[in-house]
């Protein structure tokens, strides 16, 4: 008898699905595209998107003592934020290279324009759970009273209250 398949996480499926599309744009993998917000931070990711990774031009055999030629990353930036991104270019290059694990990208080219066609729609922030009822607070306090570490007990209290309150909301 076959074992049932488990639900796959989106992070497992994204590289396979994005692979052929990003390969056409010069990306060796979907890493930079899929993890752009993690790499550059939410502030830069909100106004930019990676478009293409251009390999250095092929030419004569490089000097063995010279460092290897580096790639150029093209990103599309909302017009109003291009100057900010330009000022942060050294930081962005350092973050991209750190994420890749080696100095691969040496230059950043900016293309101004709307990124709405490139970006996914953002999800709304989840609403905070409603306050716990006195009964829920008593249950949580009783469960966490056996924990000796005060900081851990307090964190478990907050977690327990949020779980019970959210459960109450989803059942209603």
Taking the complete model, does pTM exceed 0.85, yes or no? Answer: no
Q: Which of 46-55, 72-81, 118-127 has the lowest mean pLDDT?
A: 118-127
Position with higher pLDDT, 129 vs 150 = 150
Q: Rounded mean pLDDT of 39-66?
A: 80
Total structural domains within the chain: 2
73 plus 145 within the same structural domain: no
* Domain encompassing residue 149: 134-171
103 plus 141 within the same structural domain: no
Range with top average pLDDT, 12-26, 32-46, 57-71, 79-93? 79-93
Q: Rounded mean pLDDT of 135-146?
A: 87
**Cα–chain-centroid distance for residue 153?**
31
Is residue 5 in some structural domain? no
Sheet arrangement for strand 48-54: 48-54, 71-77, 105-112
Is residue 162 in some structural domain? yes
Distance CA 98, CA 104 (A): 9
19 plus 93 within the same structural domain: yes
Closest CA to 146 of 160, 134, 135: 160
Domain at 88, CATH number: 3.30.300
Q: Rounded mean pLDDT of 25-30?
A: 54
Q: Rounded mean pLDDT of 116-144?
A: 72
Is residue 119 in some structural domain? no
Distance CA 143, CA 140 (A): 5
Query: Given this model, what pLDDT does residue 30 score?
Result: 66
pLDDT band, residue 110 (cuts 50/70/90): very high
Is residue 167 in some structural domain? yes
Query: Given this model, what pLDDT does residue 10 score?
Result: 57
Distance CA 128, CA 109 (A): 40
Is residue 124 in some structural domain? no
78 plus 142 within the same structural domain: no
Q: Rounded mean pLDDT of 147-161?
A: 86
* 90 token code pair: 């050294």
Distance CA 113, CA 14 (A): 26
Residues 169 and 129 sit within 8 Å (Cβ to Cβ): yes
Position with higher pLDDT, 134 vs 116 = 134
Rg (CA), the chain: 24
19 plus 73 within the same structural domain: yes
77 plus 148 within the same structural domain: no
């Amino acid at each position: 008898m076959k074992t049932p398949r488990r639900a796959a996480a989106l992070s497992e499926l994204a590289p396979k699905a994005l692979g052929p599309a990003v390969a056409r744009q010069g990306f060796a993998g979907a890493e930079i595209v899929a993890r752009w917000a993690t790499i550059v931070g939410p502030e830069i990711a909100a106004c930019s998107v990676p478009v293409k990774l251009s390999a250095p031009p092929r030419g004569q055999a490089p000097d063995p003592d010279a460092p290897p030629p580096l790639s150029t990353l093209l990103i599309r930036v909302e017009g109003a934020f291009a100057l900010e991104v330009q000022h942060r270019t050294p930081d962005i290059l350092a973050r991209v290279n750190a994420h890749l694990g080696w100095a691969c990208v040496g230059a950043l080219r900016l293309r101004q324009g709307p990124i709405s066609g490139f970006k996914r729609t953002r999800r709304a922030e989840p609403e905070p759970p409603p306050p716990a009822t006195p009964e829920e607070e008593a249950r949580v306090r009783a469960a966490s009273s056996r924990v000796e570490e005060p900081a851990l007990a307090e964190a478990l209290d907050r977690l327990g209250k949020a779980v019970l309150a959210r459960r109450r909301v989803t059942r209603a």
